[in-house]
Amino acid sequence: MAALRWVVAVVASVAAFFAVAVPWAVLSSGGHDPWEVIGPVAGVVAAGVLAALGWWASQTGASASGGPVRTVRQSVRAKGNIRQTAGSHGVSGRTGRRPMRESVRQKGRGGGDVDQVGGDRA
């Protein structure tokens, strides 16, 4: 799916270049505007389109795509030892499958040892 997004981004960038350059070259007074001016201006427009769509193409974990989403936020205050693990701690029963969509937020406070695992502890 990510490769398809990048193909869309690159094709749209090339289309933006031609959408600016071709009408400018055809409609300029007698076609006398030099390509030294038209090319860079169309290139800047194409670069802007590629930057915007490149950002979109790189967002693989977006919730609208239906892909795997995992967000873990942990915070602890303790006087003892603190151990935090964000993710699976051991072997999960979901090997070879896509991760489940989840969002974990943990907060802890204590005077002794604190052990937090944001995910599977199998």
What's the angle, vertex CA 103, arms to CA 101 and CA 105, rounded to 5?
Answer: 160
CB 41 within 8 A of CB 16: no
In which residue are the tokens 């919730």 written?
63
pLDDT at 10: 95
| Maximum separation of any 2 CA atoms in the chain, in Å | 82
Cα dihedral sign, 64-60-74-118:
positive
CB 72 within 8 A of CB 86: yes
Taking only the tens place, the pLDDT of each residue in 27-58 is 877 656 677 888 999 999 999 999 999 999 98
